[in-house]
Amino acid sequence: MSRSRVRRDGRGGSYSGIGGQAVIEGIMMRNGEKYAVAVRKPDEEIEVEIQNHHGFAHGSVLLKIPFVRGVFNFADSLSLGLNAISYSASFYDEESQKDSNEGGNTGNEKAINALIVIFSIALAVGLFVVLPTYIASLIEMQIRNSSLLAIIEGVMRIVIFVVYLLAIGLLKDMRRLYAYHGAEHKCINCIEKGRPLTVNNVMKSSRFHRRCGTSFLFFIVFISILIFFFIRVENVWLRVGIRLLLVPVIAGIAYEILRLAGRYDNVFVRIISAPGKWIQHLTTREPDEKMAEVAIAAVEAVFDWKKYLSDTFGYEVTDSWMREDEGVRVSEVNVKDHTSAEVPEEVKIVEKRFLNADTREFKPVNPDSVNADTREFEPVDPEAVEAKEASGTAEDDKELSEEKK
């Protein structure tokens, strides 16, 4: 059996390569160029959409250059995240749902998302770069010590960052988003610690993870403090301009540190990861089991966790393990795969799974039973399928017996 190229850390965890983010009532999970968005719809059904994604510099050598690739990956993550949030919001916005059903204008959506990305970056730069610098400039006449002034500016940057996270955490919708964020982390931790991906195991896993975007933002804030401490300019506007030009540099450094923290485990990595994981107390909450179900659906859409456990930890996950788990998910899951070229555009509902009440396993419907009118797969009567399988086995036995005679 070929082994996956993964790194084990000192605590038994391994790098899986998957990552994601919370969306409105759901989770987006990404594995390489493939991503899935799983959303708990108002009718309690879980809708999963699978797509391929190519970043801004797809195929470019720039993505292989350390400190440069981080800038592109950061912008790409923002764009993909907004697309995922927009998709999840469509299930809770009647007008958006209507537009979606009527075909919508994807060109306008892309333009709007691009504007939102630009606005988000501008807001972040304004809050965490320009504002602290401006406030520090107001008190520099009272504080002549430039080193002390730089430290005060850095402290204000951290305070603004923490206060911002606390403030948005007071919103009810953000609290649910933070809970889904916790479910996303729990799923990845569950897999990387070598546990089968079941609801019970996910709920027992940690909601804090080193590769979190919150940690990335903290690294940006912390690195900016260090760099700005040594780059000092008297003119306040020139100072702001230099800080703005250094933002891509800081993002590139922060990305490499986050990448390092996700792949290795030693004293240094644990020390630099500790503040980011502490701040995740503000950006994650304990999810409920229904949120864990959604997270599991997103992971399974893009990642073969059973093969990963087999290749990395050396054991197979049997069906009996899944049946014995009392928390096995019970939601209907609707999967739409847009990555397969073999499936016609109008028949993109590739799989629809229903829970078998006896075995506690999900059984797919017959992929050949496509309704000509609705273009959806029709569910199959489990008893009819079992009878057909039994009949086929009996016929095979009869043929074998006749051949022996």
Give the Å distances, CA to CA, from 69 to 35, 58, 61, 123, 292.
Answer: 20, 11, 9, 22, 32
Alpha carbon 349 to chain centroid, angstroms = 22
pLDDT value at residue 303? 93
Give the Å distances, CA to CA, from 196 to 31, 186, 302, 316, 374.
Answer: 18, 12, 16, 10, 36
Mark whether 88 and 230 lie in a shared domain.
yes
pLDDT value at residue 395? 56
Q: What is the pTM of this model?
A: 0.74
Average pLDDT over residues 63-89: 87
Give the other-Cβ count within 10 Å of 331's Cβ.
17
Phi/psi of residue 314, each to 5°? 80, 25
Q: How confident is the model at residue 145 (pLDDT cuts 50, 70, 90)?
A: confident
In b/e form, how buried is each residue of 19-32, taking b as 16+ CB within 10 angstroms?
bbbbbbbbbbbbbe
- Residue 300, SS3? helix
- Residue 30, SS3? strand
Q: Is residue 87 a part of any domain in this protein?
A: yes
Mark whether 373 and 291 lie in a shared domain.
no
For residue 48, the cross-strand partners are 38, 335
pLDDT, averaged across the chain: 77
- What strands lie across the sheet with 26-31, from one edge to the other? 18-23, 26-31, 34-40, 46-52, 333-337, 349-355, 362-364
User: Per residue in 321-357, pLDDT tens?
Assistant: 665 454 444 566 777 776 765 443 333 333 444 444 4
Range of the domain at 341: 332-404
Q: Is residue 367 a part of any domain in this protein?
A: yes
Q: Is residue 314 a part of any domain in this protein?
A: no
Whether residue 4 is predicted with pLDDT greater than 50 in this model: the reply is: no
Q: Is residue 319 a part of any domain in this protein?
A: no
User: Per residue in 26-53, pLDDT tens?
Assistant: 999 999 889 999 999 998 899 999 998 8
Mark whether 288 and 349 lie in a shared domain.
no
Mark whether 26 and 84 lie in a shared domain.
yes
Mark whether 280 and 204 lie in a shared domain.
yes
Considering only CA atoms, which of 177, 171, 78, 55 is closest in space to residue 125? 78
Average pLDDT over residues 61-77: 87
State the alpha helices, DSSP H only, in 7-130. Answer: 69-89, 94-101, 106-125
User: Per residue in 147-203, pLDDT tens?
Assistant: 888 888 889 999 999 999 999 989 888 999 999 999 999 999 999 998 899 999 999
Mark whether 136 and 278 lie in a shared domain.
yes
Mark whether 31 and 131 lie in a shared domain.
yes
Mark whether 72 and 137 lie in a shared domain.
yes
Degrees (nearest 5) of the Cα angle 204, 206, 210?
155
Q: Is residue 272 a part of any domain in this protein?
A: yes
Mark whether 285 and 371 lie in a shared domain.
no
Considering only CA atoms, which of 101, 34, 41, 37 is closest in space to residue 295? 37
Mark whether 346 and 248 lie in a shared domain.
no
21 in Cβ contact with 79 (< 8 Å): no
Q: Is residue 232 a part of any domain in this protein?
A: yes
Q: Is residue 12 a part of any domain in this protein?
A: no
Mark whether 50 and 95 lie in a shared domain.
yes
Mark whether 243 and 291 lie in a shared domain.
yes
Phi/psi of residue 370, each to 5°? -95, 125
Whether residue 304 is predicted with pLDDT greater than 80 in this model: the reply is: yes
User: Per residue in 83-140, pLDDT tens?
Assistant: 899 899 888 875 445 554 544 455 566 677 677 777 877 888 888 888 888 888 888 8
Q: How confident is the model at residue 403 (pLDDT cuts 50, 70, 90)?
A: low
Whether residue 358 is predicted with pLDDT greater than 70 in this model: the reply is: no
What's the structural domain count of the chain? 2
Q: Is residue 360 a part of any domain in this protein?
A: yes
Whether residue 377 is predicted with pLDDT greater than 70 in this model: the reply is: no
